[in-house]
Amino acid sequence: MIPVSAGVRIWLASGHTDMRRGMKGLALQVQEGLGREPFCGDVFFFRGRGGLLVKAIWHDGVGMSLYSKRLDRGRFIWPQTADGVVSLTAGQIGYLLEGIDWRNPQQTWRPQAAG
């Protein structure tokens, strides 16, 4: 998980993104497609067409980082909005990266006995 400091905003680019893009291509998409500044310290997440892969870019003030995660099972739950970008909290992105529906997280398994 990306260590998200207080005050860092997390953005999801709605829809799907060409996952062949690297740091420069995704930063350009943030700037031109989302109308945001890619070097401001915010984290930007992108999802591929199939929903199995996400990429995140983050500029920490020194350089740009690119993170990716692929799920073995299931798909990443992604919003569909007209704005093109959705803001999430650090807790919600934690759920999303674990493959849990971040809009309505629920415990899926609970122990029945202590021993």
Residues of the chain with pLDDT > 70: what percent?
90
Domain span at 32: 10-97
Does residue 111 sit within a domain?
no
Number of domains in the chain: 1
List of residues 6+ apart from 34 with CB closer than 8 A? 11, 13, 44, 84, 85
Task: For residue 4, give the DSSP letter.
Answer: P
Does residue 88 sit within a domain?
yes
Residues 18 and 47: their CA atoms lie apart, in Å, by 8
Does residue 30 sit within a domain?
yes
Note the pLDDT tens digit of each residue in 54-109: 999 999 889 999 999 998 888 888 887 777 888 988 888 888 888 888 877 766 56
Token pair 């959705």: residue: 86
